[in-house]
Amino acid sequence: MQILKNKTNIDFISKRKPALFLSTLLNLAIIVGIAAFGFNFGVDFAGGTVVEVKFDHPVTAQEVRERAEKGGLPDVSVQNIGAADENTFLIRMGGVTQLNEESGAKGKEALEALGGVRNVYSDLANGIIRFRSEQPMDAAAVTKAVESAGIGVQEVRDLGEAQGGTGYDYQVVASGMADRVVAALGAGLEKPDFEQRRVDYVGPQVGKQLRNRGIMALLYSMVAILIYVAFRFDFKFGPGALVAMVHDVIMVSGYYLVSRREFNLTAIAALLTVVGYSVNDTIVIYDRIREDMAKFKGKPFAEVINIAINDTLGRTILTSGTTALSLIGLLIFGVGEIFDFAMAMLVGIVVGVYSTIYIASPLTIWLDERAAAKEARLRASGNVDHQQPNAA
Amino acid sequence: MDRGWWWKFGLIVAVTLGSIWFLIPTYYSLVVLDRDQRNNLAVLEERMPSWAPPAKYRLNLGLDLQGGIHMVMRVDTKTALQKRTERRAQQIVNYVNDKKLGEVTADTDPEKLEVTLTAKDPATMDAIQKEVLATFTDFKEVSRSGAALTLVQDESQANVFRTEAVDQAMLVIRRRIDKWGVAEVDVRKLGSDSIQISLPGRSNPEQAKELVGTTAQLEFRMVDDSNPQFFAQLLQATPPPEGSDITLTTEGGFPQLQAPTREAIISYTQDKVPENRVVLTECIANPVKKNECTSYRSYLLDRNVPLTGESLAGADANISQLNEPEVNISFDPAGAREFERLTEAGVGRRMAIVLDDNVQTAPNINEKISGGSARITMGRMGGRTFEEWLGEAQTLALVLKAGALPAPVTVGEIRQVGASLGDELIRKGGLAAVLGLGLVVLFMALYYKASGLIADIALLLNGLLILAGLAFFNATLTLPGIAGFVLTLGVAVDANVLINERIREELGHGKSARAAVDQGYDRAFWTIFDSHVTALISAFILFFTGTGPVRGFATTLIIGLLASLFTSITVTRVIMTYFVHGRNAKVVSV
């Protein structure tokens, strides 16, 4: 069996300018889109709480939402995941703990009403209210006051007397959102008709840290690959590979942007894998271009590239085809982020092939032409240098 | 067939058999053993044949696949450091007053961790400055204007303190979880200020958060030795319930109850002690596994707590002049006064040091201790090595500090997966992997015929190698790991496609079967090498920057890429060479 029966001779290179124009336009649109709308950050990066619940009878997302609202959770997003008959939902809330700006202000009032309390400070990031009191306080009284403001209390910490005798320090630790979800959904029921299957809870500071690390990982790997390509190939191949990588990352980001699927740690893993895959593909064709450059010494560079692309076209289709094939299982059985991972990879495979042909190679031609033009200028100005413009 | 071929063939057979051998513990833990025994290494070791690899070399299932809680706790080193600065400032003031250098007041800036000393008489400041800077070496001068001297904590000292705070928090968390009785718990440091905790099989994140998130409580309580035979009499009067395994032991000079669990002692003695007395237990550490208790021993203590960790200023392990390990502790002025009163009244009695309701040690009071500092000697060396002896002193010092310097711990991240969800994910993930692999295998066989079948053999061996590699590194298989597994197989196929396409091309140029195969492999080699190296670069960066599931993905990818280099280049070539060189095949089925 053979996919391409006869040797192809498609003139890829002549269409490089419109392709480059189109790609640039699309990339810019995605970047503007990200700046304007932003990603749908998952709980990994945005911080917050996600609870996955599975009901033992059919319910709709709308019913779940209504129940949550009735139980006193107005700002939740409910999303159906898995097959419709699985009755499984993701309930997402912005808050990590029950302490937020609004309830924190109420809590402050309630604490100050106890008398002798000052320096009340709500540490929203850690879900802690700190305060100093003139007299030692009773933990139960503090708990009661804070709970009256609608904040669940996990613990009241007694930090002891402040140095210099200016008062006693306390911390009130607010309890998490997952508690509230279960309470809200189960309100009025004798026995809950659902199972809490998963809880993800990420503090905002950790979220920020995870996000920064993810972005750094992407940048580091691009630079490392660039160094490797520059070392293994001629320098003029490097920028093409890099721009192709960036192009692919932006395009796959576009998938997350347009589909509004959750952008989280798995998405970063997908982007990194796409980087690896994209450069993998680019390098296979670069290898062939280098080989053909030695073979067809007299031919113009652009033509050599066209031959190399055509020669490897069968392999390109096959390889991307089999990789896509191996993803089919994940697309069918993968739930949630694994499905997204497979989908992002699929997009990455397609744009990876495209960028190798229409981004990496044309850029290499352009760099080569510029080098040739520079040489021509030098020669014209009398600074004769007998070097072949296409010598590698 | 030349010698080199046989050598390579032998290597491949050895690698294949070795991989299968290495997967025996994994097979037993996931397939043969019952689900709740899955993580029990002792049972696993027992059930496996004697020639199997050690049980610890098994493929772990990540918490996302087996259910459990993954938490990241952040140690609030900032608050701890602020507290420390305030405490040190007070110590400086006391020092200056005690030495009669002059009279100063201290003001601390919690944000910048600065201490400003103001002298009543500006003329004394020069002497104070010299003395304070020479004594409190963890501070350095920031500015001086007249009677005001501003000091700041030395950054390197502050860093040592931060590291210590995290280590202390880790110690406390581990002890608390031990108390909870969770098997296979994993507590480790993450970054500079976080602690990662894995609790397989647990399902209540709020309870876990409560357990590890509270600060440690250190107390000093007097041991009630007014009736040394108390426990012996108790045991005689009311025999313990059947099966509680409570026995009497007189190790350490006093009769004590000993039982394998803490609960046994606590529930047995409940309501049987005099008023104002309480029974607490001491953990008798497992000599092999430091964080496990083999049994617990009872103590009868005064109910009231005269002194807590709040009064403790510091604790350090030292080696004494007699070349014995000891722990030096010091109290703040109020604590020192209370400690003096206690030791004066309690000469000859024992004082228990209690952390989170666990008796750590109960040294005898030999004399009244004044001046705010005391020495705890570590008893006789017994059967211990000197390192172990010293290690115990260091642990005690750490425990004392953990109680004395509470660094608040907050929850950074909690991920909980229910067991039923884990099972479902394993099933779906496995199906996805089998389907993906099956489709690729089928396609290769159809498309490349015999060469495709050879590639398929390499592919299956690749899968085997990945699993064995993960087992060898004692890695954890996560859901993203399964995705990495599938993806690696896709990339491995690419190598075989490259080779086969080259062979086809060479055949198209009219080369003989032998020449086509040899040249196909030679020419494809560098392309395959380059593409694998670049993929490895991104996989390694993913490994070093990622955490949790992402790391699992990267591990799978790295092992898979290395395996793919081996299988696609060496394994398929050996088989191909066998056919075209050994069997002298004239055509290549590709």
User: For testing the chain B interface, which of A163, A208, A209, A307 should be mutated: the one with the most B CBs within 10 Å?
Assistant: A163
Instruction: Please tell me the distance from the alpha carbon of residue A322 to that of residue B488, in angstroms, as a whole number.
Output: 11
Over the stretch B19-75, which tens digit does the pLDDT of each residue have?
999 999 999 988 888 877 777 778 888 888 889 898 888 888 888 888 888 888 888
Per-residue pLDDT band for B216 (boundaries 50, 70, 90) equals: low
Q: For residue B546, list chain A residues with Cβ-Cβ distance below 8 A.
A: 213, 217, 265, 268-269
Report phi then psi at A31, rounded to 5. -60, -45
Instruction: Please tell me the distance from the alpha carbon of residue B256 to that of residue A337, in angstroms, as a whole number.
Output: 56
Kindly list the distances between the CA atom of residue B225 and the CA atoms of B268, B369, B379, B380, in Å, as whole numbers in the listed order: 20, 20, 19, 22
Residue B567 pLDDT > 90:
yes
Name the DSSP letter for residue B350. Answer: B
Instruction: Please tell me the distance from the alpha carbon of residue B407 to that of residue B80, in angstroms, as a whole number.
Output: 5
Contact A80/A303 with Cβ under 8 angstroms?
A: no
CATH classification of the domain holding A309 = 1.20.1640.10
Predicted local confidence at residue B180, as pLDDT: 62
Same-domain status, A244 and A227: yes
Instruction: Please tell me the distance from the alpha carbon of residue B216 to that of residue B187, in angstroms, as a whole number.
Output: 17
- The beta-carbon neighbor of A157 closest among B215, B415, B542 is B215
CB contact under 8 Å between B530 and A330, yes or no, is no
Per-residue pLDDT of chain A (392 residues; tens, 9 = 90+): 666 666 677 888 888 888 889 999 999 999 999 999 999 888 888 888 888 888 988 888 888 888 888 877 777 888 887 777 788 888 888 766 777 778 888 888 888 888 888 778 777 766 778 788 888 888 888 888 888 887 888 778 777 665 445 678 788 888 777 777 887 888 778 888 888 888 888 877 778 888 888 888 888 888 888 888 888 887 778 888 889 999 999 999 999 999 988 888 888 888 878 888 888 888 888 888 888 988 888 888 888 999 999 888 888 888 888 888 888 888 888 777 778 888 999 999 999 989 988 888 888 888 888 888 888 888 888 655 555 445 44
Same-domain status, A353 and A211: yes
Looking at domain B216-404, which of 3.40.50.150, 3.30.1360.200, 3.40.50.720, 3.30.70.1150 is its CATH number? 3.30.1360.200
Same-domain status, A337 and A368: yes
Mean pLDDT estimate for chain B: 83
Same-domain status, A141 and A290: no
Contact B205/B212 with Cβ under 8 angstroms?
A: no
Q: Does B423 touch chain A (CB under 8 A)?
A: no
Angle between helices A265-295 and A204-232 (to 10 degrees): 10
Q: For residue B444, list chain A residues with Cβ-Cβ distance below 8 A.
A: 322
| Mean pLDDT, residues B532-543 | 85
Give which of B480, B471, B476, B502 is closest to B432, Cα–Cα: B480
CA torsion through residues B117, B118, B119, B120, sign: negative
Q: For residue B425, list chain A residues with Cβ-Cβ distance below 8 A.
A: 335
Over the stretch B431-451, which tens digit does the pLDDT of each residue have?
888 898 899 999 999 999 899
CB contact under 8 Å between B432 and A175, yes or no, is no
Name the DSSP letter for residue B123. Answer: G
Per-residue pLDDT band for B330 (boundaries 50, 70, 90) equals: confident
For residue A89, the cross-strand partners are A53, A80
Q: Could you tell me what percent of chain B has a pLDDT over 90? A: 14
Burial of B576 (0-12, 13-18, 19+ CB in 10 A): buried
Q: Does B78 touch chain A (CB under 8 A)?
A: no
> Higher-confidence residue: B244 or A53?
A53
Predicted local confidence at residue B210, as pLDDT: 65
Which region holds residue A170: left if phi is over 0, alpha if psi is between -120 and 50, else beta? beta
Q: Does B47 touch chain A (CB under 8 A)?
A: no
Token pair of A315 as six digits: 């392999």
Q: Does B85 touch chain A (CB under 8 A)?
A: no
The residue whose two tokens read 């993960």 is B470
Nearest C-alpha in B relative to A231: B530
Predicted local confidence at residue B306, as pLDDT: 79
Same-domain status, A282 and A244: yes
Same-domain status, A125 and A64: no
Distance of CA A35 to the CA centre of its chain: 14
Pairing of strands B277-285, B186-190: unpaired
Q: For residue B447, list chain A residues with Cβ-Cβ distance below 8 A.
A: 1, 318
Name the DSSP letter for residue A274. Answer: H
The residue whose two tokens read 């739930």 is A335
Same-domain status, A165 and A190: no
> Higher-confidence residue: B445 or B376?
B445
Q: For residue A333, list chain B residues with Cβ-Cβ distance below 8 A.
A: 428-429, 431-432, 435
Q: Which fold has domain B419-582?
A: Multidrug efflux transporter AcrB transmembrane fold (1.20.1640)
Token pair of B577 as six digits: 């060479």
Predicted local confidence at residue A391, as pLDDT: 44
In sequence order, what DSSP letters do the residues of A86-149 get, joined into one string? Answer: G-EEEEEES-SBS--HHHHHHHHHHHHTTSSEEEEEEETTTTEEEEEESS---HHHHHHHHHHT
B303 Cβ neighbours under 8 A, 6+ residues apart: B275, B276, B277, B278
CA angle (B176, B181, B187) in 5-degree steps: 55
Instruction: Please tell me the distance from the alpha carbon of residue A162 to that of residue A259, in angstroms, as a whole number.
Output: 53
B294 Cβ neighbours under 8 A, 6+ residues apart: B260, B284, B285, B286
Name the DSSP letter for residue B418. Answer: -
Instruction: Please tell me the distance from the alpha carbon of residue B68 to that of residue B62, in angstroms, as a whole number.
Output: 9
Q: Is B122 helix (H, G, I), strand (E, B) or coil?
A: helix
Pairing of strands B293-302, B256-259: antiparallel
Count of CB pairs separated by less than 8 Å, A with B: 250
Q: Does B445 touch chain A (CB under 8 A)?
A: no
Same-domain status, A271 and A321: yes
Instruction: Please tell me the distance from the alpha carbon of residue A100 to that of residue B338, in angstroms, as a whole number.
Output: 42
Residue A245 lies in a domain: yes
Angle between helices A177-185 and A61-70 (to 10 degrees): 100
Q: Is A389 helix (H, G, I), strand (E, B) or coil?
A: coil
Give which of B109, B102, B55 is closest to B85, Cα–Cα: B109
Report phi then psi at B326, rounded to 5. -150, 160
CA torsion through residues A15, A16, A19, A25, sign: negative
CATH classification of the domain holding A72 = 3.30.70.3400
Instruction: Please tell me the distance from the alpha carbon of residue A151 to that of residue A174, in angstroms, as a whole number.
Output: 6
Same-domain status, A250 and A360: yes
A183 Cβ neighbours under 8 A, 6+ residues apart: A71
Q: Out of A307-311, B202-206, B419-423, which region has the weakest mean confidence (pLDDT)?
A: B202-206
Q: Does B483 touch chain A (CB under 8 A)?
A: yes
Residue A234 lies in a domain: yes
Instruction: Please tell me the distance from the alpha carbon of residue B98 to that of residue B352, in angstroms, as a whole number.
Output: 31
Residue ranges of domains in chain B: 68-199+405-417, 216-404, 419-582
Nearest C-alpha in B relative to A324: B490
Predicted local confidence at residue A392, as pLDDT: 41
Over the stretch B478-500, which tens digit does the pLDDT of each residue have?
877 887 887 788 778 888 988 99
Contact A96/A176 with Cβ under 8 angstroms?
A: yes
In sequence order, what DSSP letters do the residues of A327-383 get, joined into one string? Answer: HHHHHHH--HHHHHHHHHHHHHHHHHHHHIIIIIHHHHHHHHHHHHHHHHHHHHTT-
User: For testing the chain A interface, which of B76, B92, B411 should be mutated: the one with the most A CBs within 10 Å?
Assistant: B411
Q: How far is B225 from chain A (nearest CA, A)?
A: 31
| Mean pLDDT, residues B261-274 | 83
Residue A84 lies in a domain: yes
Contact B381/B30 with Cβ under 8 angstroms?
A: no
Predicted local confidence at residue A40, as pLDDT: 87
CB contact under 8 Å between B205 and A232, yes or no, is no
Same-domain status, A192 and A168: no
CA torsion through residues A223, A225, A231, A237, sign: negative
Q: How far is B113 from chain A (nearest CA, A)?
A: 14
Kindly list the distances between the CA atom of residue B513 and the CA atoms of B42, B398, B520, B567, in Å, as whole numbers in the listed order: 55, 72, 10, 21
Predicted local confidence at residue B200, as pLDDT: 81
Q: For residue A277, list chain B residues with Cβ-Cβ distance below 8 A.
A: 491, 535
Instruction: Please tell me the distance from the alpha carbon of residue B115 to that of residue B108, in angstroms, as a whole number.
Output: 4
Angle between helices A336-355 and A313-333 (to 10 degrees): 170
The number of distinct structural domains making up chain A is: 3
CB contact under 8 Å between A206 and B553, yes or no, is no
Helix spans in B214-297 (H): 230-237, 262-269
Same-domain status, A255 and A346: yes
Strand order in the sheet with B358-361: B247-249, B256-259, B293-302, B277-285, B358-361, B351-355, B218-222, B307-308
CATH classification of the domain holding A137 = 3.30.70.330
Same-domain status, A367 and A219: yes
Give which of B274, B269, B292, B174 is closest to B226, Cα–Cα: B274
Give which of B314, B391, B70, B378 is closest to B209, Cα–Cα: B70
B139 Cβ neighbours under 8 A, 6+ residues apart: B88, B92, B115, B132, B133, B151, B152, B153, B154
Q: For residue B548, list chain A residues with Cβ-Cβ distance below 8 A.
A: 265
Other CB atoms within 10 Å distance of the CB of residue B53: 17
Range of the domain at A301: 13-40+204-372
Predicted local confidence at residue A151, as pLDDT: 83
Residue A387 lies in a domain: no
For residue B257, the cross-strand partners are B248
CB contact under 8 Å between A276 and B537, yes or no, is yes
DSSP 3-state percent helix, strand, coil across chain A (nearest 5): 60, 15, 25
Residue A214 lies in a domain: yes
Can you give the pTM of this predicted structure?
0.70
Nearest C-alpha in B relative to A162: B86
